[in-house]
A and B are shown apart, each in its own frame.
Chain A
Amino acid sequence: DIQVTQSPSSLSASIGDRVTITCRAGQSISNYLNWYQQKPGKAPKLLIYAASNLQSGVPSRFGGSGSGTDFTLTISSLQPEDFATYYCQQSYITPLTFGGGTKVEIK
């Protein structure tokens, strides 16, 4: 199975801050890496697919980069509605695996 390790597990940030979350895969997964946002009591929402492609309807302040084993989700200017938990997920091979999540909290 491909392990996917996310960091940090939580962070505190202020409105307007630039936020970066990283995800590392246990082996090369090309660009088969997706990012999701989840708010309490809600289903996850796809933000970025194939490492760097912005899902339709997602604000352009969200961006993804990386390939191989190292990936990054960046929020260029944190907004109030961005406080949530973020997950990466590899879709390269089954069993598909999710990172442990990063909770973004208000400083």
Chain B
Amino acid sequence: QVQLVESGGGVVQPGRSLRVSCATSGFFFKSYSMHWVRQTPGKGLEWVAVVSSDGTDEYYADSVRGRFTISRDNSKNMVFLQMNSLRAEDTAVYYCARVYCSTPSCSQGMDVWGQGTTVTVSS
């Protein structure tokens, strides 16, 4: 069945780095753009980043641009989020999600989500 499984979350000090991963299975990965969305405890959803289906285009939220990097490995059906210079306000549950679209923005919605991985930035 279709699955997205995030991993790599944890507790990290401010200013340090962390990489979270999303392993996918059960669908043709190369046909989908992949997104990261985060949710602060008790708060709403915030879109973080997207990578196009072929990995050539990346876009970021203003709050993470220059600090976070999204990438994908189409040979391993995985997507990654490298997070540098972490701040307390980056503390959140990070979800990966897929969209059936080759470009970063289109009319399709995020139809499958992972269960999330928790990142806590604290000294």
Q: Which residues of chain A have a CB within 8 Å of any CB of chain B?
A: 1, 30-32, 34-36, 38, 43-46, 48-50, 55, 87, 89, 91-101
A93 lies within 8 A of B105 (CB) = yes
- A85 → chain B, closest Cβ, in Å? 8
Total chain B interface residues with beta-carbon distance under 8 A: 26
Q: List 14 A-B contacts (CB under 8 A).
A: A36-B45, A38-B45, A43-B95, A43-B113, A44-B37, A44-B110, A45-B113, A49-B111, A87-B45, A89-B45, A89-B47, A91-B108, A94-B50, A100-B44
- In the complex, which residues of chain B have a beta carbon less than 8 angstroms from the beta carbon of A45? 113
In contact, A91 and B59 (Cβ under 8 angstroms): no
The main secondary structure of chain A at its interface with chain B is: loop
Find out whether the CB atom of A31 lies under 8 angstroms from the CB atom of B111: no
